[in-house]
């Protein structure tokens, strides 16, 4: 039985199955960007929120990876 690899809504790129690969996917998908001339404050804040989620996910993953094993 093969496992179907999920894809992002409306995208051809597959969503990684492992947490580590998913975190790397988020970093590529939502990189740190500088505001561009002509962008509205709403657009800048929305992009900053996307990046913030990617950073928080990485921080949580790294913290969980450093927990001592029982």
The per-residue pLDDT for range 14-53, each reduced to its tens digit, is 888 899 999 999 999 999 999 999 999 999 999 999 999 9
What is the model's pLDDT at position 8?
Answer: 58
Distance CA 43, CA 49 (A): 10
Judge contact between 58 and 29, C-beta under 8 A: no
Residue 3 has pLDDT above 90, yes or no: no
What is the model's pLDDT at position 9?
Answer: 61
Distance CA 68, CA 64 (A): 9
Sketch the domain layout of the chain as residue ranges: 19-65
């Amino acid at each position: 039985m093969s496992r179907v690899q999920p894809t992002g809504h409306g995208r051809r790129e597959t969503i990684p199955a492992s947490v580590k690969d998913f975190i790397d996917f988020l970093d590529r998908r939502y990189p740190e960007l500088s505001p561009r001339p002509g962008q509205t404050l709403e657009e800048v804040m929305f992009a900053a929120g996307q990046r913030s989620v990617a950073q928080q996910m990485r921080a949580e993953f790294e913290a969980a990876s450093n927990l001592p094993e029982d």
